[in-house]
Structure 1
Amino acid sequence: MSAKKRMSSNVARGDETTPEDPAKIKADKEREAKEQMSAATWNVTALKMLNGGRLIAAPVAKKLARLSRMGPSANGAPRDRARILDLGGQATCDWAWHCATEYPNTKVYTATTRSQRQLSNSNIHGPANHRQVTVNKLTSLPFKDDQFDLISARNLAHILKSCSENGEDEYDACLAECMRILKPGGYLEFNLLDSDIMNAGPLGQAKSVEFGFSLKTRG
């Protein structure tokens, strides 16, 4: 039965509630999708602007682009694809999806903690060459030695602590894991979060001090 007929039946019976308008449902879903994508899109756009229009600043980007243009080997066997790890990134609609789309012959993994996974909609399916891996901590990763050509760690300042509850320096432990799973000659990209604002006015300077105190409190 169509939505229009169901609505007519409800009105005839005097029901208090009427079915949702399909057009409204579609519009609401589109609005929710845009809201979920907007922050990630801004983040990727800003990163590319800082990197001169590139997703990846490291020289390995040239290798990834070359591999993405190559087909199977002469005997038809698939080539060994490069692997990229998005460490601590958002698993949906963010950097890893853009990376997987731009370099289709690579395998892109996003490693997130369980608490991070709860903040994102894991039911959204991305590119076929992207995988999401959930871990308890980023200091213990379920990957083999020498597995990745590139590890991108852009958000560790929001996740790791210099002194965890058990006294562990999570930055040191995470770096050791990165070096273990990184291939010889591979690249590790990461961002440093600095509370100092260059050429700040009175308001900016006050915010800088407040932000620095917050970072110190978080460890």
Structure 2
Amino acid sequence: MVPHSNLLSSLFRQQFSNDNSKRRSHSLDQGNQRIQSYFPTKEELDKPIPETYPSQPPSQRKKSTNLVGSLFSKAKKHPRLKRAATLIETTANHYKKSTKDIDKTKEDLLEKDDNKNDDDDDDALMPSVLGIREDDVDRMQQKNDLIRLAFAGEFTRPIDEQTIENVLDIGCGPLSWAIDFAKEHPNANVIGMDCLNMIPPETAMDLPKNCQLVIHNCLKRFPYADDSIDLCHVRFMNASLNMDQYCKMVAHCWRVLKPGGYMELMEMDMMVYSPGPVTELLNNQVIETIRTLGLKPRMARYLRDVLPQDAKLTDNLITEFYRSLPIGVWGGRLGVLFRDDLIYALTHARHMDSLVEQALFENQLLAAEKELEQCKSYSNFHFLRVQKPF
């Protein structure tokens, strides 16, 4: 189903402000100029799509980088950056604030039994099936802001949020969501969990006093007591976890979640809707490649299946919906961001052995970019909130 005009209007007519304007890509600026009227005219659609990177072909726009290389690169750029404070360490020295109450909260959260058996030692967590890009931190922060705008008003929880004490954000990345929540709920203790520290130096220097990072593999038993967390938040993990791993991560969340607490899941369906013929061909190739790696590219459509089978859940405890968001310049900044993600996925999910094959793929990418505008392609983002029974 094509996205509703009311949703698109809320996306395209909002005024975006960003103090870090120097980091905006040329692509985003073009998107802003292009969507002053969010439905392009026929004359505009017939024009060639603006080239984001004039000096590079599409498949070379985002250089592939392995995990180790990315970490060394970031370490060289920020040699003075230290790992952010974890749940069981003293509060970081990079901010001078009173932390007496926070330290007490940390002690209450920790598991009392240190001899718990962990049978998950062999579980390796993959940060992303497509690897990590140099600009991933900036893109994650920007995507957080745009997703929040796109889903404005949709995340209202049926509780008094001022009573929330402990929040866990799994797969937190650069802590974007966690920091926003911590600022809006100064009395809550917000913990971001990830297997990597992706916090930018400028962010690490000014973390809210009620927000911290713990480095932990989400496939292993969480280091928190049973029934100690009010809200567990999970977003965009289907590119890192297969179905069994996702269920295991959810089970860990369920154990630490308080009765009456909430768990929120959001994932993107990797199927491109309203595609042109070339876009559909390339998208199917990516989906098949991801499946061969053991992942489920359309897991977003089956979020109910990852919930604990013995939880005795009823429909009144579950809220589930999806929203359609644009891909391409026609969708403004959000659309350009998702377009670049799609181009990156199309490029890095295949291996080309010859220059002829590479040239053919370049032409297919150019055709796909034009189809995104002409067909107004979009993706579906699925959201599920579940309350743990009392």
Scaled by the length of structure 2, what TM-score is found? 0.37
1:58 is displaced (CA, Å) by 5.1
Residue identity in the other structure for 1:148 = I
Residue 216 and residue 58 in structure 1: after superposition, are their counterparts in 2 closer, same or farther (change >3 A)?
Answer: farther
Q: Counterpart in 2 of 1:63?
A: 160
Match of 1:89 among 172, 183, 186: 172
1:45 is displaced (CA, Å) by 1.9
Q: Counterpart in 1 of 2:208?
A: 127
Alignment partner of 1:202 is 2:277: yes
Alignment partner of 1:109 is 2:191: yes
Residue identity in the other structure for 1:146 = D
5 Å-filtered alignment, 1:96-175, equals 96-113=178-195, 116-117=196-197, 119-121=198-200, 124-125=204-205, 126-162=207-243, 169-175=244-250
Residue 106 and residue 207 in structure 1: after superposition, are their counterparts in 2 closer, same or farther (change >3 A)?
Answer: farther
Gaps of 5+ in 1: 1-29, 68-80, 163-168
> CA offsets, 1:126-160, max 9 Å, x none?
11100111113433211111111111110321322
Match of 2:291 among 205, 212, 216: 216
CA RMSD of aligned residues (A): 2.8
1:90 is displaced (CA, Å) by 1.1
Alignment partner of 1:187 is 2:284: no
1:37 is displaced (CA, Å) by 6.0
Greater alpha carbon shift after TM alignment, 83-92 vs 41-50: 41-50
1:53 is displaced (CA, Å) by 4.9
Work out the CA distance in 1 between the residues paired with 2:250 and 2:262.
12
SS of residue paired to 1:108? strand
Q: Could you list the runs of 4 or more consecutive aligned residues of structure 1 that deviate by over 6 angstroms after TM superposition? A: 30-33
> CA offsets, 1:65-107, max 9 Å, x none?
x44xxxxxxxxxxxxx521111011144x11111111111111
SS of residue paired to 1:180? helix
Gaps of 5+ in 2: 1-21, 24-76, 79-134, 295-390
Q: Counterpart in 2 of 1:45?
A: 145
Work out the CA distance in 2 between the residues paired with 1:50 and 1:210.
29
Residue identity in the other structure for 1:156 = M
Residue 99 and residue 203 in structure 1: after superposition, are their counterparts in 2 closer, same or farther (change >3 A)?
Answer: farther
Conservation of the 8 A alpha-carbon contact between 2:165 and 2:230? yes
Conservation of the 8 A alpha-carbon contact between 1:89 and 1:110? yes
Work out the CA distance in 2 between the residues paired with 1:41 and 1:53.
20
SS of residue paired to 1:191? strand
1:36 is displaced (CA, Å) by 7.5
Q: Counterpart in 1 of 2:251?
A: 176
Conservation of the 8 A alpha-carbon contact between 1:154 and 1:190? yes
Work out the CA distance in 1 between the residues paired with 2:156 and 2:224.
22
Structure with greater Cα Rg:
1
Residue identity in the other structure for 2:273 = M
Scaled by the length of structure 1, what TM-score is found? 0.63
Residue 88 and residue 138 in structure 1: after superposition, are their counterparts in 2 closer, same or farther (change >3 A)?
Answer: farther
Work out the CA distance in 2 between the residues paired with 1:183 and 1:48.
26
Number of residue pairs the alignment of both structures matches = 162
Residue 200 and residue 155 in structure 1: after superposition, are their counterparts in 2 closer, same or farther (change >3 A)?
Answer: same
Residue identity in the other structure for 2:172 = G
